[in-house]
A and B are shown apart, each in its own frame.
Chain A
Amino acid sequence: MFNNCFPFSAVLGQEKIKMALILNMINPYIGGVLISGEKGTAKTTLVRGVSNVIDYMNVVELPLNITDDRLIGSIDIKKAIVNGEKTFEEGILYKAHNQILYVDEVNLLSEHIVNILLEVLSTGTNIVEREGISYRHPSRFILIGSMNPEEGILRPQLLDKFGLYAEAKGEIDLNNRIEIIKRYIEYENNPSEFLLKWKEENEKIGSLIDKGRAIIKNIKIKDEDYYFAVDLCKNGNCSGNRAEIILIETAKAIAAFNQREYITENDIKIAATYVLPHRIRESITFEELEEPLDKDALEDNACNGDYESIDSHDLDRPKEDIETDTKEDDIKENIEDIVPYNNEISINMDFRKMTSNQGSGKRTKVKANSSKGRYVRCKIPRGKVKDIAFDATFRIAACNQKNRNKNGLAVCIKPQDIREKVREKHTGATILFAVDASGSMGAKRRMGAVKGAVLSLLRDAYQKRDSIGIVAFRKDKAEILLNITRSVDLAEKYLRKLPTGGKTPLAAGLYTSYQVLKADKIKNPDSLQYLVVISDGKANVSLETENPLEDAFNLGMKIRNEGIKTMVIDTEKNYIEYGFAKELAEKMDSEYIKINQISKSDIETSIKNLLNINQ
């Protein structure tokens, strides 16, 4: 089907991906490649095109909506009915043996299918035990996956199975971009002519691969090569021993590509840029733990020249705060713009404690009981059959046709043949943000940072298809800024317009959040609920008792008792800290982070550091 696809050699740039694919062709033991990158960067084009470069390998595609019978194979229905024999009809895994298995959007693949793939990948054999069939066949293939990380992450077990990792990036050079448009439009206007034009280039690459394959068996590996590879992996904190092995295999392929019968240190270094990026585990250094925002805050204070006044002002809280806040109340309202938050934060939820399991988000994938979701396999029904899996039923029936009265039809189906569909669906979460918009948040441009942090969380929520809502509290009340919705854009719009100023009715904020979440629970009983409180905790408006803080703490405990998971983002950045937000977090049993805490380090830089260490 892809004979006519854009020629491999005509793709401009994306050298890393091309190389990763070529290395895999030369040495199938590398174990495939995962291509990650933004949309529209020729990821899929390159994979499809590779099968036209060499003629002894085909690209077998694994569509996202595959069902397990087609993946592992099942009974041959025609033979079962006509001859009454049980024969095996091969699935994709059979077709893929000694070929390339390509999964586009691999991060969206269903859980059940991933499990089967993992099994086959580790044993190299497909063992079929179903529908009265017992069959096994070797299934070794080069696994190539492509994904857009915007759409969500890949399961770690599967990630580790990919030998290499290559990133696709859009071209930034003007002339190259022009050339890309030219070539593409030329191709689109007349594919066959364009293919002919690039045939020679394609053949050149093909012969390089052939030469590499011929020589790879002769490559000698020295002891020091092993040591060097092990060193690299150790420095990267890679788990297991797969990294070292693949590193050597890749280095071998690189040497073979260059027509050498030995590998150099440089080969291993280049190999590392493909093998290690997705395997390096973060080792947090002290630099990363420093809090740049904190330093700014301190400098701010220093510029003012008197720590005293700021601190004493804060110490006299809540009485004085109320006064100053009321003064500012209606006069001083300002809308801060969003300050981009440099670090990615994401919400980690412990789902083992949760039992609910339906919805259409991406937090977890679960079996859906309704007839919505993706059909992945079948089961023997219990009780009334609602969602019949005809193909499976048909297969079972086909095996038992010998002694049945068929009434002129080809097949007679009995109740015991009937199978039901098992569907998989994503479960999302409901995340409510309770944002403190009081005057104290406006000080020292804190609100901008808060907005940035919330947006970072919103992006994470988008990837996981969560529903979100925002409650803001300031002056004397809390306000539902945005009721639970799936539109992240809308949330962003409201957040942008959120002004600061006034007192801090933390208790009211918690109470309103609690109500919103309760109402949502009735509508979506299966969604997981999460509350993110963003505040410095300096409550000064009470709800029930005289003590504003006490009120907030009580409500916090109530929320905890409802089983709503919480996260507190502490925005307090003064020289002397009260730690009220922290106290609230403890009371609510929340995850607690400071607004300026670092949670993720850059993979790219860490690999560069790694390579420098060893030079």
Chain B
Amino acid sequence: MENHRLIYPFTAIVGQEDMKKALILNIINPKLNGVLIRGEKGTAKSTAVRALIDILPVREQVVDCIFSCDPRDYSSLCENCKKILEEDIKIKKEKMRVINLPVGATEDRVVGTLDIEYAIKSGEKKFEPGILAEANRNILYVDEVNLLDDHVVDVLLDAAAMGVNSIEREGISYTHPSKFVLIGTMNPEEGDLRPQLIDRFGLVVDVYGERCQDSRVEVIKRRLGFEDNPHKFIKEYENQQKNLAERIEQAKDLLDKVEYSEECLRLAAEIAIKIGVDGHRADITFIKTAVTHAAYRGEIKVNKEDLIAAAKLSLPHRMRRQPFEEGVIDFQQINELIERTIM
């Protein structure tokens, strides 16, 4: 974004490794379907999401397209871009963006609405795109996602599920692509999120305040350092930020080359059956996460480490809980299973 507000560097966040990893994996592979970060106040949830801006990759998009269409993928183009002849498409390179969905957002702002000015001036109906249009191919960030109005959540769910936003309201009939990485943060003390919505998040991480004294001290030190002299602080982390951004770019390129054995698939299915999950999203996300993790490590073969990391991020929230049992997975058991199956 053309926003030069000073942002706390992602790499300067102390601890919270799972959260950072989940975010990075989603940037590398947007098909992971987002991440939900649950935790108490003051655990750097929002800071981490906002800090992503710095390390987001650059990608190609069609010039002047509000949906940031991907010129290389014809089937995903919006109506307008489809009309342009292939050789006439202008392409520019731009960074992936983080789009904010405020908790108070009204439904018409989210899905888009009738362009009032245009209607009065020309007497014609025109679609005015909303947040879901902007979010296409970007990150959609919802802070306090559990406090969102129910009917807005329903719309969000719908779009997240099919990657398409269909509008049939206020005299407007319009359909446009809306594929986004959904990132939500919430404080579980303030209320729950419906299981249906939780399931749509590919990964879920629970964050806690750092318990170790040294890390806590380090957190304060860095925060004060940043507030004291942000420019200097950001400079100090410049190299680390650049390295991470590069690593993400490399991982993106590697993603298609990563291979996994038949055993990995068997393992995914076995775990899913063992812990009893609803539907099949768990297995599929598990494999995709492991693949992405391997790419992040710079490898092209999925190994144990990848599988263990994937299990931790993609499974806990998908366990079927009867009736309202504690959603605790026996990780020992899963790790043993992984050890046993994968040589």
Contact = CB atoms under 8 A, between A and B. Distances in A.
A255 interface: no
A426 interface: yes
B170 A39 contact: no
Interface residues of B, number: 67
Contact of B166 (A3, A39, A63, A458): A63
Nearest to B170: A391
A395 B171 contact: yes
B173 interface: yes
A375 B123 contact: no
Interface residues of A, number: 85
Given A170-B278, A409-B121, A104 B158 contact: yes
Contacts of B288: 185
Contacts of A458: 324
A82 B256 CA distance: 54
B168 to A, nearest CB: 4
Nearest to B124: A78
Contacts of A360: 149-150
Interface stretch (B134-142, B192-200, B208-216): B192-200
Given A69-B171, A180-B283, A188 B265 contact: no
Contact of B323 (A42, A341, A465, A489): A341
Interface string A54-73: 00000001111111011100
A191 B107 CA distance: 32
A75 to B, nearest CB: 9
A184 interface: yes
The secondary structure that dominates the B interface is: helix
B31 A188 contact: yes
A410 interface: yes
Contacts of B336: none
B38 to A, nearest CB: 11
B160 to A, nearest CB: 12
B107 A1 contact: no
B281 interface: yes
Contacts of B155: 63-65
Contact of A185 (B168, B189, B284): B284
B270 interface: yes
B265 A182 contact: yes
A485 B277 CA distance: 28
Given A181-B268, A191-B75, A458-B324, A410 B154 contact: no
B19 interface: no
Contacts of A391: 114, 170-172
B168 A63 contact: yes
Contacts of B119: 77, 390, 394, 410-411
Given A44-B161, A81-B123, A360-B149, A74 B196 contact: no
Contacts of B325: 338
Contacts of A65: 107, 111, 151, 154-155, 167, 169
Interface of A: 1, 3-4, 38-42, 44, 48, 61-67, 69-71, 74, 77-78, 81-82, 91-92, 104-105, 108, 148, 150-151, 170-172, 174-175, 177-178, 180-182, 184-185, 188-189, 191-192, 338, 340-341, 360, 362, 372-375, 389-391, 394-395, 398, 401, 409-411, 413, 426, 452, 455-456, 458-459, 462, 465, 485-490, 492, 496
27 contacts: A1-B164, A3-B75, A44-B161, A48-B162, A63-B167, A63-B169, A69-B170, A77-B171, A78-B123, A78-B125, A148-B196, A150-B195, A151-B196, A177-B283, A178-B266, A180-B280, A185-B287, A191-B75, A341-B323, A391-B171, A398-B123, A410-B124, A411-B123, A465-B150, A488-B324, A490-B188, A492-B324
Q: Across chains A and B, which 6 residue pairs bring their CB atoms closest together, nearest first?
A: A40-B279, A410-B123, A177-B269, A391-B170, A81-B123, A40-B281
